[in-house]
Structure 1
């Protein structure tokens, strides 16, 4: 099933100031046996977008979600309640339930996204051409970047075209200057970066599926050289807490921007404890074209790309058997 069809919620009823939406988790959008956490969060975001559709605050600005327990490939309910409605922002509380148990609880802030602009007499913006602006962290244009496949842990991997970034991969090597010692100040960690786009031309990137893209980076333990992950075994990396901050609205399809491909960059600085608790910081960027598309690489193409969203998450490292067991419940 296409992701756009798999993120599908319907308003069911309203009761005691709570709007209830219903839907069905699709089995294709799983990590092994358990629905991908970003896919699950996308259902909540979509329900809240529907809730806010005819208001002055229609766009998600910030989302915080706590995953209380793993979801399953079955029907669900999302209960949405307005916590506060203001002039510029609306605060929503949303819970996703399966079998009458709360699986995910979330707090969402909605507002009105504005396109990147350095206009405004009193505006302070860290966007190009400011020398302090964050720039696209991927090295290659998606038309000619080296190709790769998403991990076989993802049942949905065949639905995407993806690339790799050899320069980023090399930063994770034991011989890289990124490695630290007792005299190092800061530094360290593991990085990941790809272009990723839908193969099906009927699919597009939408605000609701941004959480999905933010949750498909390869987890840091897998990025370690083999000699540093010999004890890892076959593992699952369930998300415990995830945030998304939406920066800008999606660009329209044009010669400068694709509507079905995005750039993903992530960085992890800490992994520790008996359950391998880890942080991940992720950026989602616009793309100038689709992966492998036969286009001329124009000068200055990088200057026209901008960050759509940033995400943080806390995940665990547990045996894959835990995931497979969830699928049998």
Structure 2
């Protein structure tokens, strides 16, 4: 059985370094296509450019302008390939303009040393049967964010005050995540997961689209099958912008992805 996700990030190769994509309507939010989904489309193109090094290790993308559903092209350029790692530049373009430019390091994560030493603490999220499904998200949010129909998101009960007019103002959103059709996560999907939750600005009672300016994702390991825990937080709002730090933990209790995003504070 095929999975929706694989169809939505599918590419047609033009030549050695460029691909055609058809960006799906179902991944829109606010005024454009979700940045994490777009990063996975770019990530898939880079993966296909590098036989033997299929996995993102670090991807840093700058979002130059909003992307819309429909045809797009992804161009890749290998800057260095040797040993365990490769470095690739990539651009996603639509019409006559470049929408996203990215620089990435890729490897075969399954071939890297698997020892883990961390002081990170796994998020304290309630069991799934005690969490609140995104199916109960406010109608106005679902209208501007149809991407929420693409996945199951179970919010920790301590993080849903924003949905009932009682935001905690802690700058924290977290919950359980999986794709709607139950497809198990992989490294390229993690690029999207790091941008899948609503913006943490909602925890301050500010609803609306928060356009991404820059997003960097570090993928630390191939995730185990099953649900993942996702935690987003911010500590600083300045100049009409805020940072959003994300952690993704897999079903084996490992920190498999981390990201930092700089986004625009939503307009009132």
Q: Give the TM-score taking structure 2 as reference length.
A: 0.86
Cα deviation for residue 33 of structure 1 reads: 4.2
Which residue of the other structure, out of 197, 207, 213, is the alignment partner of 1:240?
213
List aligned pairs for 1:63-82, cutoff 5 A.
63-82=59-78
Question: Residue in 2 aligned with 1:182?
Answer: none
Post-superposition Cα deviations, 1:6-27, rounded to whole Å, max 9, x if no partner, equal 111121113xxxx111111111
4+ long deviations beyond 3 Å: 114-118, 167-170, 173-176
List aligned pairs for 1:183-262, cutoff 5 A.
189-201=170-182, 203-224=183-204, 229=205, 232=206, 235-251=208-224, 253=225, 258=226, 261-262=227-228
The answer to whether the 8 Å contact 1:138/1:193 transfers is: no
Cα deviation for residue 206 of structure 1 reads: 2.5
Does 2:151 align with 1:160?
yes
Cα deviation for residue 64 of structure 1 reads: 0.3
Question: Residue in 2 aligned with 1:312?
Answer: 260
Cα deviation for residue 219 of structure 1 reads: 1.7
Which residue of the other structure, out of 44, 48, 65, is the alignment partner of 2:46?
48
From the two aligned structures, give the one with the greater strand fraction. 2
What is the alpha-carbon root mean square deviation over aligned residues? 2.6
Q: Give the TM-score taking structure 1 as reference length.
A: 0.71
Post-superposition Cα deviations, 1:118-148, rounded to whole Å, max 9, x if no partner, equal 4xxxxxx424xxxxx3232133233x23222
Which residue of the other structure, out of 119, 123, 126, is the alignment partner of 1:137?
123
Does 2:228 align with 1:281?
no
- When Rg is computed on C-alpha atoms for both structures, the one with the higher figure is 1
Cα deviation for residue 175 of structure 1 reads: 11
Post-superposition Cα deviations, 1:272-319, rounded to whole Å, max 9, x if no partner, equal 22xx200000011113xxxxxxxxxxxxxxxx3111100110000244
Cα deviation for residue 166 of structure 1 reads: 2.8
The answer to whether the 8 Å contact 2:130/2:157 transfers is: no
From the two aligned structures, give the one with the greater helix fraction. 2
The answer to whether the 8 Å contact 1:126/1:134 transfers is: no
Instruction: Point out where structure 1 has 5 or more consecutive residues left out of the alignment.
Output: 119-124, 128-132, 180-188, 288-303, 321-329
